[in-house]
A and B are shown apart, each in its own frame.
Chain A
């Protein structure tokens, strides 16, 4: 499968714990995006990278959230001191430079108890 991959697919954690998710984009895509989706809603934009540079961050991204893409390939999204409100599906997407067609991964479902 040469599509966007995400790991883990599911994560259950206790409130207050830190979690980290990984996203591997399509190999030739320079642009990588993180979104969050809660039940009954569409995806909400969190942040976006072009290569290793984080170019845009949503106001939704509190200081407990940090994303990195150190070598311009895979990306990680870390949530510190998780809260029950962080329970959601976290989606990663990638796109080529020439077009804004974003290819989505399967998502990581986070449940905070």
Chain B
């Protein structure tokens, strides 16, 4: 069965510092990977997906199949980036998402 691991429950950085939120997955095939974000008092929303290979709000994520990782990065954190971040996976041809347990990012002024 597939599994998504986010090893850090909390990541605290200062404004302007680089951010890397770690995500590792276990699945033998070629999954689709996503990052979802939940800002305070808002609903869960998609931040980015690996097949789009785009940068959203300055965030990027690269799928590393050798290391089975999909880490989320941003070179300069902003206070408005403070939120809960979830990494998620879907198997080929399937729609169900398997989520990690989430990492809370706290950007201090």
Contacts and interface: CB of A to CB of B under 8 A. Distances in A.
Interface in B19-59: 32, 43-46, 49
Contacts of A45: 96-98
Given A42-B86, A42-B88, A56-B94, A104 B99 contact: no
B69 interface: no
B44 A43 contact: yes
A43 B97 contact: yes
A109 interface: no
Interface residues of A, number: 26
B95 to A, nearest CB: 5
A33 B88 contact: no
Given A42-B101, A42-B102, A100-B32, A56 B43 contact: no
Given A42-B86, A42-B88, A104 B44 contact: yes
Contacts of B98: 45
Interface string A27-57: 0000101010000111111001000000110
B96 A58 contact: yes
B49 A101 contact: yes
A95 interface: yes
Contacts of A43: 44, 86, 97, 99
Contacts of A56: 94-96
Given A35-B97, A48-B95, A103-B46, 5 more contacts: A3-B43, A33-B95, A43-B97, A58-B96, A105-B43
